[in-house]
Structure 1
Amino acid sequence: MKVIFSAKPPQYASPFNYGWFFFILFLFWSGSCSQKKRDSYSNWGVYKADNESTSYSHLDQINKENVSKLALAWIFEPNDSITGDRPQNSESNPIIIDDVLYTTSARGRLFAVDAATGELKWSFDPFNGERGGGVKRGVTYWEDGSDQRILFTGGDKLFAIDASTGMPVPSFGNEGKVDLNEGMRGDPDKISVIPTSPGIIFEDLLILGTEVSELYGAEPGHVRAYNVRSGELVWTFHTIPMPGQVGHDSWPKDAWKYSGGANSWGGFSLDASRGMVFFATGSPAYDYYGANRKGKNLFGNSVVAVNARTGAYIWHFQTVHHDLWDYDLPAPPNLVTVEHEGKKMDAVAQTSKVGFLYVLNRETGKSLFPIEERPVPSSDIPGEETWPTQPFPTKPAPYTRQFLDEKDLANYSPSSRDSLVKLFRSLRYEGIFTPPSIQGTLQFPGSRGGSSWGGGAFDPSTGLFYVRSNDSPEIMRMKKVEPENAITNLSVYKQGESIYSTYCISCHGRDKNGDEQGNPSLVGLKGRISEEDVLAKIKQGGGKMPSFSSVITDKAKEEAILAFLFENESSGSPQEEQSLLEEINTNQGASTEIQNTDSLNRYLNLTAYGYFRDPEGRPGIKPPWGKLHAIDLNTGDFAWSVPLGNNRDLQTGSEETGERGSAGPMVTAGGLVFIAGTRDNQLRAFDKDTGEKRWEIKLPGFANANPSTYEVNGKQYIVLSVGGNSKNTAGSVMAFSLPD
């Protein structure tokens, strides 16, 4: 426990008083130093390891020489699934404070576990017995003496939980919770903002981002700071700038009233000594068509630095201007120190979906390597105005492929090859940044290309940066959606089918069977899940699925989509006045004037997140489809690259195929890089100097999470959230150590 010495020195002098004072001061100093060392070396006290988001550990008990002996030490099973649940995945990166591990389950419950044994200490349910769910990548710890708290979100609520007892802290907000819908632009009763990644602590502030809808009418992606003691909102940074704020002129003048997105959903990094907090943002909404948001659209797709105490703007760097590809910056910036032009320099390294690694001066935001603004293709959709150029870093080289031609297409069989060539030739494709089209556009890298929320890991002893890559092309096919094309005189079931065909078919398929990439089957919902739970999932989102609260805006739409999903073809009568293809602005509390501002013709990407595949559902390009890279940030050169993961069914030679994944790596002083998140359900350890695989273990489920490491009672552990299977749908937390 950290000791906070707050007494003032005596106002009068005596040898006796001074002796005790200096003795206590010595104890405080030595205790503080030992705590600081323990925090840095033994604990994993912050999401992605530390304030700098390095995903690095100084522990070296587990190393290259002995990692082959690594074995399961303990397993914790939350056992909180509901009857009828399919296997669930938790993306939580556990934190460890002294000898206690804190994590969340796939259903969003909070657990405190003995870090040496895996025994449950306490649990907390933010949903009061309801289904819950939604992505949670971790929790945040704060302490002041004996006041120790876990800050985490459940749905659209922020909770402060006593770290010792698991009980809400009554002095925080309303009996331990704060409504995150309050303080946004829209009516708190009609919106829902749900963070997916944990916030970060600066002094007595919790700095927090949010997940918002990516559809028309989305909320703006405000970054906010809350007083960790009281729950009071202290400052707000507007990622869609208001009049008079930096970046306002990069939008139409009234866009701040109706535009949404540009949110920081991947997490934060902190330079406490400079009082600077760093975050990266996603694209403005709607992702694929921006006629109502002409301009560069700051601070969408930007690395941003603000004053951690006040939220005041310091600098930004925009990686994509006027995004039309859903090219979010999905992970927190890594704070690094590099050797540049003969001197040490503090910098920021930002991963991306396009496969560029941006290395920026930490104080100014200027790139350490040259960046060129290059012309890119123009849109052919009426009303759209693509930005004419995009930034291309000259170093490091892209860590994912950024161009395809016919020789890159897969060749499983002559008929498969012919179908892929035919599809490829039918699509618009002019390289990276080819805009969406009605014809259909091949997007490469796809919106799940490059790297995702797992981000990178940085080794300060070598300057090497580790990141996974995904080669994952997609198809974008736009369709105009207008009120005059509203479907009327249809049964409720048919209206639901129309909603499904517009918004759901690209992930769950025309037959509702889903796929193996985390898009579950929706066949046979009746009897295994309630209509209320399905509706809650649609409105709140969860896993890869965004919230569709901006689509299902009234009772008629609710009844329609439920009738279709639950195969109730006899449900209801025609809804004469209901347009199910017309999206409704979620700013229902806004004035008519503001709503009318956002009334331009709208286009939807009907194949959003649709993979480029052959008729059998196999990847449409040759492997490798996923790699792990080591990049020297001192020089911008690659140290090594190796395939990550393997699909044995599609492997044709000795080299592994690699697999697409979202989870990120962890690097240790023991000379190892640990990473999971591949569909072959392996946890692997690589030699951090050479990329040689040193160890792997088959897990009982898909581990779509970043690993953590810590030391308790002189023993180092590697710990990981692991997804469920048919026997244990809730999943588990698994810890590995060397044998005694």
Structure 2
Amino acid sequence: MPPGTNHDWPVYGGGPESIRYSSLTQVNRENVHALEVAWTFETGDAYPGSEMQCNPLVVGGVLYATTPKVNVVALDAATGRLLWRFDPHEGRKVLGKMRNRGVAYWTDGSGARVFVGVRQFLYSLDAATGRPDPGFGAGGRIDLRDHLRPGEKQMVSLSTPGIIYRDLLIVGSLTSETLPTPPGDVRAFDVRTGALRWTFHTIPRRGEAGYETWPKDAWRYIGAANNWTGMSLDGARGLVFVPTGSAAYDFYGANRKGDNLYASALLALKADTGERVWHFQTVRHDIWDRDLPSPPSLVTVTRDGRRVDAVAQTTKSGYVYLFDREKGTPLFPIEYRKVPPSDLEGEVTAAMQPFPTRPAPFARQLLTEDMLTRRTPEAHEAARKRFATLRSGGQFVPGSRQGTVIFPGYDGGAEWGGSAYDPETSLLYVNANEMAWILTMVPPPAPPRARERISGAQLYARECASCHGADRRGAPPEFPSLVGVDDRYTDSEIMTLVSEGSGRMASFARLGHDANRAIVDFITTGRIERVAGRRRSPMDMKYLSDGYKKFLDADGYPAIAPPWGTLNAIDLDTGEYAWTIPLGS
């Protein structure tokens, strides 16, 4: 059956090919303006700062979706009538931000299951009733923290659903951006029992290919290189395509010298065993948070008069990589070019990085002074003065003490929503962000006493500041402000969040109660009230990012002139653009 001819939407992204395409023709350009609301369903569990990023599934007339607090609901797709609801929290207060992009659906023809990740757990639910499957794991769930590193239970969760291959659920993970964090192993679980069937180590262990691209036994203390975006599947070939993110710590890699395979790479794995077939690393020794942001699209293109099954991967830098699906050979040339070294002590960046030559980038690659805001003369002058203090040299300019422009920014280029592909025209549709961010590297606070002791402020700088900022104001909505957090949560609840972690936030249980207490006191008061004992660690950093900071003017508008994004249609047969329109003004 050709992609998109099934009128159901049974997989995240529409189908295992991740092309977000439907052949339905009832709604078209001539009548779309006449659409009316058929029904509305109120989830009833929204809260300040909550999100709904779910891509609902529709199977056999039933819509399966998740709510802001990651309840799973099954609705009659025609009427919106609630068929069942599963609350994994059982009425308990939800601490921290919840994020979920949908569920996975499996059936063998006689029974069906819905799989959902909630914090560190993966649940299997009966698709007919919403009740947990008692035969799956322990009481219908498994703990995703298991089977990663011996003796550890660092926070790991599943925000994007896995993909089904026969009787396997193949999943990635969402982890912290800082150290310590678990490795981003790709794993396959038995859909009936929850038993672990195979694991692919994205940070290789001794004897595995790629081990030589890391320091000795890096997998024991370096983390991530995870798949948080979801994946695509060629069921006929038994190949699963897995995009990965950067290794942790994201912005300084002195303790992970080397190219760091298989971080920031596209992997083609045998779906039944996890064996690697081929890979391509889009960023060597990634210190820019250049995670591959979305599942690749499985496409078929015309090349030299013949049809070629291919895989198209978009990136945060605004590139489209196109590979032969079976062999991994590029279908357009890729050049390796020299890039600037880092001047930070201890950092050794890769000398060369890959640049696809076609299609041309779908986002601008270099921020220059003539691109700065003209919103008002005052805004332009302030942006010009700030820009003059920064480094801006295009892609792969390392973070610096003075501040480096990251453009496109941490959120792309391409975003997590992914691209869409029309198999009838061979056009790939992709939207681009064009927002500049500033990466400034700072040394952590000097210890007030002997090296074995550290204050709550220093613990915060090491564990929290990269996301929430040195000033605790964060970068909402992705990284919430911690100013006034004690107005939203009790002291006990904040201690629980710090100790247990939540979503991308790591668990700090390893630091011990006194250290957690010191962090909470600093967060809630801004004062250094306690000192906690600690030991030297290979996770110690000489430099840390001062937080996720957009390049904005004094009024909070982008410091660059519009457009702040584009929508692009790219012909994958030729690598040429059919059209581009601006988005964001």
**What's the TM-score once normalised by structure 1's chain length?**
0.74
Alignment of 1:58-457 (within 5 A): 58-81=23-46, 85-132=47-94, 133-188=97-152, 190-457=153-420
The 8 Å contact of residues 468 and 628 in structure 1, kept in 2 or not, is answered as yes
Corresponding position of 2:520: 562
Change (3 A) 1:507 1:317: closer
Q: C-alpha distance in 1, partners of 2:227/2:3?
A: 31
One-letter identity of the residue aligned with 1:137: R
Q: C-alpha distance in 2, partners of 1:515/1:321?
A: 27
Q: C-alpha distance in 2, partners of 1:454/1:557?
A: 38
The 8 Å contact of residues 539 and 547 in structure 1, kept in 2 or not, is answered as no
Deviations 1:590-638 (A, max 9, x none): xxxxxx6x2665321113x211112222211111011111111011111
Change (3 A) 1:333 1:533: farther
Change (3 A) 1:551 1:448: farther
Q: C-alpha distance in 2, partners of 1:113/1:510?
A: 44
Change (3 A) 1:499 1:355: same
Q: C-alpha distance in 2, partners of 1:253/1:38?
A: 44
Q: C-alpha distance in 2, partners of 1:630/1:37?
A: 21
Name the SS for the 1:346 alignment partner: strand
Alignment of 1:412-561 (within 5 A): 412-481=375-444, 485-487=446-448, 496=456, 517=477, 519-538=479-498, 546-550=504-508, 553-561=511-519
Change (3 A) 1:336 1:533: farther
The 8 Å contact of residues 475 and 549 in structure 2, kept in 1 or not, is answered as no
Q: C-alpha distance in 1, partners of 2:87/2:501?
A: 19
Q: C-alpha distance in 1, partners of 2:174/2:479?
A: 19
Once the 2 structures are TM-superposed, how far is the Cα of residue 37 of structure 1 from its aligned partner?
Answer: 9.6
One-letter identity of the residue aligned with 1:147: G
| 1:45 maps to 2:7 | no
Q: C-alpha distance in 2, partners of 1:39/1:429?
A: 43
The 8 Å contact of residues 436 and 477 in structure 1, kept in 2 or not, is answered as yes
Give RMSD over aligned pairs. Answer: 2.6
Name the SS for the 1:76 alignment partner: coil
Once the 2 structures are TM-superposed, how far is the Cα of residue 553 of structure 1 from its aligned partner?
Answer: 2.8
Once the 2 structures are TM-superposed, how far is the Cα of residue 263 of structure 1 from its aligned partner?
Answer: 0.6
Deviations 1:194-230 (A, max 9, x none): 1111011111000010012221222110000001011
Q: C-alpha distance in 1, partners of 2:363/2:137?
A: 45
Alignment of 1:608-687 (within 5 A): 609-644=548-583, 646=584, 657=585
One-letter identity of the residue aligned with 2:519: I
What are the ranges of 5 or more consecutive residues in structure 1 without an aligned counterpart?
1-35, 585-595, 647-656, 658-740
Identity of aligned residues (%): 45
Once the 2 structures are TM-superposed, how far is the Cα of residue 504 of structure 1 from its aligned partner?
Answer: 5.4
Change (3 A) 1:521 1:154: same
Change (3 A) 1:418 1:309: same
Once the 2 structures are TM-superposed, how far is the Cα of residue 187 of structure 1 from its aligned partner?
Answer: 2.6
Name the SS for the 2:386 alignment partner: helix
Q: C-alpha distance in 2, partners of 1:513/1:163?
A: 42
Q: C-alpha distance in 2, partners of 1:214/1:127?
A: 26
The 8 Å contact of residues 155 and 540 in structure 1, kept in 2 or not, is answered as no
Change (3 A) 1:193 1:488: same
Name the SS for the 1:563 alignment partner: helix
| 1:606 maps to 2:546 | yes
**What's the TM-score once normalised by structure 2's chain length?**
0.93
Once the 2 structures are TM-superposed, how far is the Cα of residue 40 of structure 1 from its aligned partner?
Answer: 4.2
Corresponding position of 1:26: none
Name the SS for the 1:79 alignment partner: coil
Change (3 A) 1:559 1:488: farther
Report how many residues are paired. Answer: 581
Once the 2 structures are TM-superposed, how far is the Cα of residue 565 of structure 1 from its aligned partner?
Answer: 4.2
Q: C-alpha distance in 1, partners of 2:155/2:67?
A: 21
Q: C-alpha distance in 2, partners of 1:91/1:226?
A: 25
Once the 2 structures are TM-superposed, how far is the Cα of residue 573 of structure 1 from its aligned partner?
Answer: 5.6
Q: C-alpha distance in 2, partners of 1:265/1:509?
A: 23
The 8 Å contact of residues 213 and 550 in structure 1, kept in 2 or not, is answered as no
What are the ranges of 5 or more consecutive residues in structure 2 without an aligned counterpart?
none
Change (3 A) 1:267 1:172: same
Change (3 A) 1:568 1:311: closer
Once the 2 structures are TM-superposed, how far is the Cα of residue 531 of structure 1 from its aligned partner?
Answer: 3.5
Once the 2 structures are TM-superposed, how far is the Cα of residue 159 of structure 1 from its aligned partner?
Answer: 0.9
Change (3 A) 1:250 1:507: closer
The 8 Å contact of residues 141 and 151 in structure 1, kept in 2 or not, is answered as yes
Change (3 A) 1:239 1:518: closer
Name the SS for the 1:249 alignment partner: helix
One-letter identity of the residue aligned with 2:235: A
The 8 Å contact of residues 443 and 544 in structure 2, kept in 1 or not, is answered as yes
Change (3 A) 1:368 1:121: same
One-letter identity of the residue aligned with 2:86: F
Q: C-alpha distance in 2, partners of 1:504/1:323?
A: 20
Q: C-alpha distance in 2, partners of 1:463/1:219?
A: 39
Change (3 A) 1:284 1:416: same
Once the 2 structures are TM-superposed, how far is the Cα of residue 354 of structure 1 from its aligned partner?
Answer: 0.5
The 8 Å contact of residues 155 and 506 in structure 2, kept in 1 or not, is answered as no
Q: C-alpha distance in 2, partners of 1:620/1:443?
A: 13
Once the 2 structures are TM-superposed, how far is the Cα of residue 415 of structure 1 from its aligned partner?
Answer: 2.9
One-letter identity of the residue aligned with 2:310: A
The 8 Å contact of residues 124 and 133 in structure 2, kept in 1 or not, is answered as yes
One-letter identity of the residue aligned with 1:557: A
Q: C-alpha distance in 2, partners of 1:415/1:503?
A: 37
Once the 2 structures are TM-superposed, how far is the Cα of residue 42 of structure 1 from its aligned partner?
Answer: 1.9
One-letter identity of the residue aligned with 2:559: G
